[in-house]
Amino acid sequence: MEIFESWTLAGKTLRNRIIKTATFEGMCPGGKVTDRLIEFHRRHAEGGVAISTVAYGAVSRDARTFNDQIVLEEENFDDLCRLTAAIRNEGAIASIQLAHAGGFTQASGRSSWVSKGPSGGLNTYGMMSGYPIAVPMSYADMDRTVEDYGRAAALAKRAGFEALEIHMGHGYMISQFLSPATNKRKDEYGGSLENRLRLPLRIVKAVRDAVGEDFPLLAKTNLSDGFKTGLQIDEAVEIARALEAAGINALVMSGGFVSKTPMYLFRGDSPLAEMVAAEKNLIRKWMLKLGGAQVFRPMKFEENYFRDQALKVRAAVDMPLVLLGGVRTRENMEEALGDGFQAVAMGRPLLHNPDLPNQIKSGMVGNGYCTNCNLCVGKMDTPEGVHCVLTGEPMGIQVTPAA
């Protein structure tokens, strides 16, 4: 396999093996698609990626972690169409994450003052926003959530998205059901891995039924939650096998839990100081100062840092696999493809230099490589939205008005 060799995923031709992975953009005030968001993804498509993935498309209003996340509902339909058209016009495929917060949220305007996940407990992620308690989802809650995923998938397809990614990692709702650390249910949805997979597989079926067989459906899953009592690689392998049998077309392999081990995903320098500086809520700012050092601890960066774990999944399934984590250079990409992974996913390196795919293709180093400083993480909630602080003006700020 060659990096810039086209390939087919569920009947859709992709122009190369490079995927822009979802990174929370911070460009959707009030949950609305903006010109800045459209330009952000258009720019990545122009830079040469095969797929540009829009971050966190909430399947309902109660599914958000923050207020400023897109809700996949009819009132956003026209602007979603503009977004997908902009990506498509640059030769890339538009994808969006289907996501649900589950047992933690910081989003206001919900239908209840509690959050709902697999099990009850303290919602440390959202307690400073007035949502301190998580309660177990009822059977009716789960049925409604499955329906929400199917409805959101159908709307996304109508809006022109040509692929979808079901977010099953990083500690969000599906991840909470899969992880033994957060799923303490005593019914058929908890306990064994077979039971913990029950709701995720129902969601996969609902999404597949909504979009049809000839439609690329990816899933982002954890190789490990990054802490002792969480999901580990042996169960991650079994989850991959189950998702392959359920009809997922490709797996994007990741790791970490946003409320516990975010640096297991990011690696490199801690962005805590920048996050404290950007936080406008005085209570949350104080909480970050008080306890953030325990969560955002620096973690050694290595190129292709999920490789060893991902190879265990590669040995267990036949489906296309996407390697994420520490992919920076052409050599990193070639190593991944040589290992049998069908594609690579990149986030921070493309924030640093959205032209990186085209520059690698032409033999240029271009604007250099991401330094793993993670300062971009601290910029997600600023007015400019997520961007690399090392390479000048944020993408998506200067937008030419329509004629």
All residues at 6 or more sequence positions from 139 whose CB lies less than 8 Å from its CB, including other chains: none
Q: 377, 275 in Cβ contact below 8 A?
A: yes
Would you call 56 a catalytic residue per the annotation? no
Enter the tokens of residue 240.
């991959």
Instruction: List b or e across 363-375, with b for residues whose CB sees 16 or more CB atoms inside 10 angstroms.
Output: eeebbebbebbbb
d(C-alpha 193, C-alpha 180), whole Å: 8
Q: Cα-atom radius of gyration of the chain, to the nearest Å? A: 19
d(C-alpha 363, C-alpha 239), whole Å: 38
Q: 188, 133 in Cβ contact below 8 A?
A: no
Of 125, 172, 264, 305, which is the active-site residue?
172
All residues at 6 or more sequence positions from 42 whose CB lies less than 8 Å from its CB, including other chains: 86, 87, 89, 90
Q: State the catalytic residues.
A: 172
